[in-house]
Amino acid sequence: MSSEATRFVNTLLQTEPGPAHSIQLEVDTGGDIHALFEFFLMTMTELLKRWYEPPITIGRISEENLVRLVGYFASFGFKFQLDIEENPRIVAIRNREYLDKSRLQDMKFQMSHEGRLYTVRFSILPTA
């Protein structure tokens, strides 16, 4: 699925983000919502790899590129959400918990960097 995300991002980056629901997303996940979540994480990572030199650190995302991420995901009908918590009391990050969820909007991926907790979520963007 990683190569599928790479091909998708190559196509996506040929233009700037369009209006919500302007791109038809077709990804073969076999109906597995967890696979779709993973595809979105790979898409996010691929986009960041195009915009930043390694190592990719979520704390380096500029406001401009965050807006672009939100725009690209909206263009294929999904909401990208990045929550940032300052000075969290983190004991452990359990990024496999999404496997216990059955709805995309309940799944999350977390990263910690320089005293902040970053939480990534995706959900279906309502149609107008």
String of DSSP letters for 16-67: ---STT-S------TT-HHHHHHHHHHHHHHHHHHHSPSSP-GGG--HHHHH
Within a domain: 20: no
Q: Could you give the dihedral angle defined by the CA atoms of residues 101, 104, 106 and 107, in that order, rounded to the nearest 10 degrees?
A: 70
Residue position matching structure tokens 């406001």: 63
Both ends of the chain: CA-CA distance in Å? 30
Sign of torsion over alpha carbons 45, 39, 118, 124: positive
The percentage of residues in the chain with a pLDDT greater than 90, rounded to a whole number, is 65
The percentage of residues in the chain with a pLDDT greater than 70, rounded to a whole number, is 98
Within a domain: 38: yes
Within a domain: 89: yes
pLDDT at 1: 57
At residue 50's C-alpha, the angle toward residues 49 and 54, to 5°, is 40
pLDDT at 59: 87
Residue position matching structure tokens 């990719």: 56
Within a domain: 31: yes
Report the domain count for the chain: 1
Which of helix, strand or coil describes residue 2? helix
Within a domain: 59: yes
Look up the domain containing 10 and give its range: 2-15+26-124
Arithmetic mean of pLDDT over the chain: 91
Within a domain: 9: yes
- Average pLDDT score over residue span 115-120: 92
Within a domain: 101: yes
Q: What confidence tens digit (pLDDT) does each residue in 17-40 have? A: 999 999 988 888 999 999 999 999
Question: Which strands make up the sheet holding 109-113, listed edge to edge?
Answer: 78-86, 116-124, 109-113
Do the Cβ atoms of 76 and 44 come closer than 8 Å?
no
Within a domain: 35: yes
